[in-house]
Structure 1
Amino acid sequence: MEQEPPRTPAVGDPAPKRPRNAAATREAILRSAMEAFSRNGYDGVGVREIAAAAGVTAMLVNRYFGSKEQLFAEVVEASFTPPTVVTDDPRTLSQDVARALVERTSPEAHHLDPFLLMLLSAPNQRAAEIMRQGIERHVGRRLTEQLTGSDVPERAGLALSVIAGTWLMRKVIGDAALVQGDEEALARRLEGVFGLLFSDDDGDGA
């Protein structure tokens, strides 16, 4: 008897159940949560939605991660650990950060990036605290370890504020001057700003 061909999943169909491989299941849940939190923020998505997109049950999500808060903490850790903008060569740090920032905020870039996770989840006080700790542990530490001179934490914080502000105005708000302007010129201007912040000159003219 001739078998019917498999049905093509329709839009809205639940994700197919995944084989019970612990590592693969955990990774599927984490990736689903990363996408969900980056698109909707901490308060905008529930465990059931994350589970459905991963092809598992909400009970299984809680078994692997304990709670939504702990799952979010794992997403923050996975998102902030890899270097995205702050590189590890202090000799070219200003240039590298400026160019990476322009590239990752270009209209053509389609990254599920830590900035969207931060922006959309910040209204939740506990989520904001988890992200602050993640920033300090990863990108903040990478930056402060490369700076010398006085007021290193303050200068690093200002640099991260410039990065976040540029990301917001260029990628989220879509400021015309920043989006439509010459990217090479924008990178040079940002390099100058970062050069001032990363320099160990105290700026008192002495």
Structure 2
Amino acid sequence: MAAMTPGEPRDGHGGTPPKRRRDSAATREAILRSAMAAFTRHGYDGVGVREIARDAGVTAMLINRYFGSKEQLFAEAVDTSFAPRTVVTGAADTLARETAGTLVARTAPGADPLDPFLLMLRSAGNARAAEIIRDGVERHVGRDLADRLPGERAEERAELFLGVLAGVWMMRKVLGTSALAEAEEGELTRRIEALFHSLVETET
């Protein structure tokens, strides 16, 4: 067996393998994804840092290092959850129609759950979590929607728009009330579109 030159790095053939650098971005992403899933399933009060860390394959200490606290981790989870435009879509002239169609499809029996709504529903009972959610909704969804609405009092109309959307989601998807769950989708879409139109359009 050949002797090694002093200072020569050892390879994987019986020597000491080189240390692998920790991918901090991947670790942070794994923690955030674990947190989003946990808060969506159990709500803010229903899950702790240790459970989130375990599912992410890290220690609780790393969560504190990357996010500072459970509250700050929740705030980032809310930001990440509400940033994508998954239901409210379209410019002012197509907003009512496109959003109504998407809402009916996404709340149909058997459709995948809308995770941001579940995160909101299951965490809103905590006062601080509710403040974080409200801020996230206003910054990501409400402001974006208000910017698309013509006319005055756009922010007020945007929040009414979101209220209709959230109410339909709650009644049809979470509670599964019979009239909405069994409604013919085309007719339901048209009725919801009419409600949205009343908030998009302004008086002339």
Q: Which residue of 1 aligns with 2:158?
A: 156
> Could you list the per-position Cα deviations for residues 87-144 of structure 1 after superposition, in whole angstroms to 9, with x for gaps in the alignment?
1421100001101111111222224521111111111111111111111111101110
CA RMSD of aligned residues (A): 1.3
- Determine the structure 2 residue equivalent to 1:130: 132
Deviation at 1:151, TM superposition (A): 2.3
Partner of 2:47: 45
User: What is the TM-score of this pair, normalised by structure 2?
Assistant: 0.86
**Structure 1 moving runs of 4+ over 3 Å:** none
Where does 1:47-126 land on structure 2 (aligned, <5 Å)? 47-111=49-113, 113-126=115-128
Between 24-33 and 104-113, the greater mean CA deviation after superposition: 104-113
Which of 141, 144, 148 is 1:142 aligned to?
Answer: 144
Matched residues in 1 for 2:138 and 2:195: separation? 22
**Aligned pairs, how many?**
184
Query: Structure 1: any 5+ residue segments left out of the alignment?
Result: 1-18
Q: Which residue identity is paired with 1:63?
A: R
Structure whose alpha-carbon radius of gyration is higher:
2
- Calculate the TM-score normalised by the size of structure 1: 0.85
1:187 matched to 2:197? The reply is: no
Residue 85 of structure 2 aligns to which amino acid in structure 1? Answer: P
